[in-house]
Amino acid sequence: MSAASTLSPDRSGEPAISKPGFVEEALPHMDAVYRFALRLVRGRESEAEDLVQSTFLRAYRSWESYTPGTKVLSWLFTICRNQFLRAEERRGRRPEVTESEVEANVESLAATAVFSEVSSADPEKAFFDSFVDEEVLRAVDALPDPYREAVVLSDLEGLSYPELVEILQVPTGTVKSRLFRGRRLLQQALYDYALEMGYVRPRSRI
């Protein structure tokens, strides 16, 4: 996405790129914000573009509240998510998903998983690092909102736990729990596909 297509003058008619530092710090992250927005809206491109525009306009109008040199991408992701949540509330289409709704399914996966052995300190993350394509993105889009947000921010955008805590406004333990459960649900959805493509090998059963 280009700055020209996404940014527009604010209500006073002042160009959105006139505030000192905005171009240098905020605009280079437009593609990352678009990727995040696209996953928030489950791949609907027109909605993602609208969300990016509202995010950067909000960021411009709030630019004085940003501390130069700090984590601008986390700040932009936070704005993007908040804009998304407000839009979903207005549309009445963001049902609450409780942790218990997928608890039994996830715990069952943890006990009976047949995914390949991976030599890694974080084998679940290695599973997702091995391939990212349209099949994966479709599976990501199908995740319940809390898990989708955590997986996208961690495994697709590479953010740290502290950054996820800041953006999602939940404790570290909740971030880890959502990420674990989201990855397990993705593994369930993608296992057959990964086998077919040769990304993983099934464990031999005793």
Rounded to an integer, the average pLDDT of 135-164 is: 92
Helix and strand totals (H; E) in the chain: 10, 0
Higher per-residue pLDDT: 12 or 68 = 68
**Backbone φ, ψ for residue 132 (5° rounding):** -135, 110
Q: What top-level class would CATH report for the domain 99-197?
A: mainly alpha
pTM: predicted TM-score of the whole model, two decimal places? 0.71
**Are 57 and 15 spatial neighbours (Cβ–Cβ below 8 Å)?**
no
Q: Give me the pLDDT at residue 18, please.
A: 72
Taking the CB of residue 182, how many other CB atoms lie within 10 A of it?
Answer: 25
H or E stretch covering 162: helix 161-168
Name the band, by pLDDT with cuts 50, 70 and 90, for residue 130: low
Half-sphere exposure of 15 (CA within 13 A, CB side): 8
Domain with CATH 1.10.1740.10 in the chain: 18-90
pLDDT tens, 170-200? Answer: 999 999 999 999 999 988 888 777 777 776 6
pLDDT > 70: what percent of the chain? 68
Q: Give me the pLDDT at residue 191, please.
A: 79
pLDDT tens, 47-104? Answer: 999 999 999 999 999 999 998 888 999 999 999 999 999 988 888 765 454 455 444 4
The most distant pair of C-alpha atoms in the chain lies apart, rounded to whole Å, by: 70
Q: Give me the pLDDT at residue 17, please.
A: 54
Domain with CATH 1.10.10.10 in the chain: 99-197
Most confidently modeled range among 27-31, 66-70, 131-135? 27-31
Compute the 3-state secondary structure of the chain and give helix, strand, coil in percent, each to the nearest 5: 65, 0, 35
Could you give the CA distance from residue 128 to residue 156 in angstroms, rounded to a whole number?
Answer: 9
Kindly state the tokens that stand for 8.
């527009």
Rounded to an integer, the average pLDDT of 116-123 is: 44
Write the CATH number of the domain with boundaries 18-90.
1.10.1740.10
